Structure 1
């Protein structure tokens, strides 16, 4: 396919996503199934245009002077480094190319300064999120939000139950993998450049034999900060597909007991194969309808990686920020409160409750924990900044601290930490 056909396809995918109010990944998959003539290189290039457009939808519309789907897709192509004259020349004679935007739009794109746009447009977020993001990230919130408009890397966690990082690094050398900057068990492949795509590392021997898993460095760090250690009794209360469960199992070195639970059977389903591949033999998986009453008040550590808005994943799921509403956020906050109220019952006196989200928003993070502490005064917040320093002594304070009672939580971001957005807080039950 030539560039014109790829642009037309990207427009079609986004319009389908908008019209049917569906995730962009589903729209891209359906387009590929109905256009089998498109090769893998074409599908990758189209996907890159689609995701680049969604990451910067508002700022592209501002620079183009109009925000219809066709205009913002053309803007994304210009933003990739192709100037207006070269774009026009590339589309000349291409019968599959869509019509060019209105006269002046291409020239305006290069001439306009984004600094003239409202803050929410510069940040590429809906207007209603400007206040919550400023409250959560401070005066530099626009720059922080803009970092979520960049392409993400591909991060992996080495499974120390089976492999050493240097061995996995050597295996992935053909893909230019490097050690993560902060996580001592992390590896990273740089963000996609131009029309490229990340390698399918899941077909590599190391993945198939459980030597490594795909996991964002921020998620790895949240697990490390939890402090799970060999011999502990631990509950992963929102285990999902098992990403953090596997990380916790490796930290525990197969010693102690790690209980994995989730209320959603479908979300939990992949955990069995992942545990077997990873060699995590100390994990007990509990079905959604299973009774965990016998564990009440007995566990050293409970990890609640609560369902959230996913605001920390906007680099990878940019369509989510346009679907998020204040009402949806409110529902998530209510769900998180229920998760915390459920999880606290399992913590023994002197034990800890770790709360994690993949969100940036204070309503889901520090404010949620403060509300919990008012309801359950037998808990107190630890100093997460101290935990970070003790766990990652060479990394520096690469996070946003949030005061919580006498302690604090911390938020990781692409700008500060080089990761997806994650929040971490550790609470201790008084003995």
Structure 2
């Protein structure tokens, strides 16, 4: 496929996403099945075009003065790839399956339109209904934070200290351009290729042998702030695929016990293979069973309970750009309810003097500070752990820059990570 044909295909996929209200990944998969002549490079290039357009959907539409799939794609070529009106006109020749030529209005807008006077949600490329929440979290820099969330994300890896040193992993992945992450002592960062694609790790010995795991630096820091110690009893209550479970187990050097569970058994399925590859021996997976309390023996026994709470995922928009346009106010309300429920459930397992660490990949106060305040109002036997105490316990002094009240907020703009909130609570002895 030539570049123009790829752009036409991307417009087609965007139209499918819009008209059928479906995830971008599903639309791209169906397009690939219906166009088997397209090679792997074509499909990868198409995916990058589509996701880039979704990253800047609001600003692209503003530039073009229209919200059609074509307008959004044309605007995104300028916004994300810095192409000139002439460059875009050459791609839209109408020949060889390329999109029809630009109209005079399209060419003029591509050449002269700006975001001057645009509201924050347009300049920051986030849903208008979230404007009050972004303003509450970020104040005057709401649009700037939104733009950072619309950028492409690098590939971050966590060095598995059970099998390798950071230096050994760096040497093994030097051909990918891996460098140390600035904040996590166990992190590596692999840059994106010029076309915006992440390196494939499937055939990399360092990955296959468990020397490294894919994990955003922000997620690594959240696990480190738990300050899990060898010999402790630790419960990961919302373990999912187990990224933080593995990080906790490595921090404990395989001593003590980590119990991993999740309300959805299917989410735990990948963890079995990941544990084996990582050489982790101190993790028990507690798969939920109907009408059975699989955690009853842990009541008031845990030194640490990690709640990686279900959330809107606003902090991960760099990696899931279509998610920000599919989220609705009702989803936020549902997540808040779930967060309160899981926090109250977690309290049951914390022993006197033990700690509960609350983590979300959300940047909204309603899911973060407000949930901690509500929990403390309900649970009088818990108190907040000062965020600086969390930083000191993890021996990560650089994270002091991200302390806000009794929690820490990381974001692509401030920490160059995905967006995360971390807060600690202690059960009074």
TM-score, normalised to structure 2, is 0.96
Match of 2:341 among 338, 342, 358: 338
The alignment partner of 1:349 has SS state of strand
Tell me which residue corresponds to 1:50.
Answer: 50
Tell me which residue corresponds to 1:367.
Answer: 370
Correspondence 1:416 to 2:427: no
Tell me which residue corresponds to 2:39.
Answer: 39
Instruction: Name the CA distance, whole Å, in 1 between partners of 2:130 and 2:388.
Output: 27
Instruction: Name the CA distance, whole Å, in 1 between partners of 2:394 and 2:268.
Output: 29
Cα separation, partners in 2 of 1:400 and 1:94, compared to 1, 3 Å: farther
State how 1:62-211 maps to structure 2 within 5 Å. Answer: 62-79=62-79, 80-92=81-93, 94-193=95-194, 195-211=195-211
> Contact (CA 8 Å) 2:388, 2:403: kept in 1 or not?
no
> Does 314-323 or 138-147 show the bigger shift?
138-147
Tell me which residue corresponds to 1:311.
Answer: 314
Deviations 1:213-245 (A, max 9, x none): 000000000000011010100000001011110
Tell me which residue corresponds to 1:321.
Answer: 324
The alignment partner of 1:388 has SS state of helix
- CA-atom RMSD in angstroms: 1.5
Tell me which residue corresponds to 2:352.
Answer: 349
The alignment partner of 2:189 has SS state of strand
TM-score, normalised to structure 1, is 0.95
Tell me which residue corresponds to 2:265.
Answer: 265
Instruction: Name the CA distance, whole Å, in 1 between partners of 2:203 and 2:384.
Output: 42
The alignment partner of 1:226 has SS state of coil
Tell me which residue corresponds to 2:423.
Answer: 425
The unaligned stretches of length 5 or more in structure 1 are none
Correspondence 1:12 to 2:12: yes
Instruction: Name the CA distance, whole Å, in 2 between partners of 1:328 and 1:306.
Output: 14
Instruction: Name the CA distance, whole Å, in 2 between partners of 1:141 and 1:81.
Output: 23
> Contact (CA 8 Å) 1:70, 1:101: kept in 2 or not?
no
Instruction: Name the CA distance, whole Å, in 2 between partners of 1:155 and 1:87.
Output: 33
How far residue 67 of structure 1 moved from its aligned partner, in angstroms, is 1.5
Instruction: Name the CA distance, whole Å, in 1 between partners of 2:228 and 2:14.
Output: 43
State how 1:289-308 maps to structure 2 within 5 Å. Answer: 289=289, 290-308=293-311
> Does 37-46 or 99-108 show the bigger shift?
99-108
How far residue 25 of structure 1 moved from its aligned partner, in angstroms, is 1.5
Instruction: Name the CA distance, whole Å, in 2 between partners of 1:221 and 1:35.
Output: 42
> Contact (CA 8 Å) 2:93, 2:100: kept in 1 or not?
no
Deviations 1:230-272 (A, max 9, x none): 0100000001011110000000000001000111011111110
Instruction: Name the CA distance, whole Å, in 1 between partners of 2:111 and 2:288.
Output: 54
How far residue 333 of structure 1 moved from its aligned partner, in angstroms, is 0.4
Correspondence 1:381 to 2:379: no
How far residue 385 of structure 1 moved from its aligned partner, in angstroms, is 3.2
The alignment partner of 2:10 has SS state of helix
Q: Which runs of 4+ in 1 moved over 6 A?
A: none
Instruction: Name the CA distance, whole Å, in 2 between partners of 1:302 and 1:136.
Output: 26
The alignment partner of 1:47 has SS state of helix
> Contact (CA 8 Å) 2:94, 2:101: kept in 1 or not?
no
Instruction: Name the CA distance, whole Å, in 1 between partners of 2:310 and 2:203.
Output: 29
Instruction: Name the CA distance, whole Å, in 1 between partners of 2:59 and 2:87.
Output: 22
How far residue 101 of structure 1 moved from its aligned partner, in angstroms, is 4.8
> Contact (CA 8 Å) 2:84, 2:110: kept in 1 or not?
no
How far residue 89 of structure 1 moved from its aligned partner, in angstroms, is 2.4
How far residue 392 of structure 1 moved from its aligned partner, in angstroms, is 4.8
Instruction: Name the CA distance, whole Å, in 2 between partners of 1:299 and 1:319.
Output: 38
Instruction: Name the CA distance, whole Å, in 1 between partners of 2:357 and 2:88.
Output: 51
How far residue 24 of structure 1 moved from its aligned partner, in angstroms, is 1.0
The alignment partner of 1:395 has SS state of helix
Deviations 1:262-307 (A, max 9, x none): 1101111111000111111000000112521111001100000011
> Contact (CA 8 Å) 1:239, 1:261: kept in 2 or not?
yes
> Contact (CA 8 Å) 1:211, 1:278: kept in 2 or not?
yes
How far residue 390 of structure 1 moved from its aligned partner, in angstroms, is 5.0
Instruction: Name the CA distance, whole Å, in 1 between partners of 2:351 and 2:201.
Output: 40
How far residue 54 of structure 1 moved from its aligned partner, in angstroms, is 0.4
> Contact (CA 8 Å) 2:94, 2:100: kept in 1 or not?
no
> Contact (CA 8 Å) 1:152, 1:315: kept in 2 or not?
yes
> Does 418-427 or 21-30 show the bigger shift?
21-30
> Does 210-219 or 138-147 show the bigger shift?
138-147
Deviations 1:118-142 (A, max 9, x none): 1111111111101001111222111
Correspondence 1:287 to 2:290: no
The alignment partner of 1:115 has SS state of coil
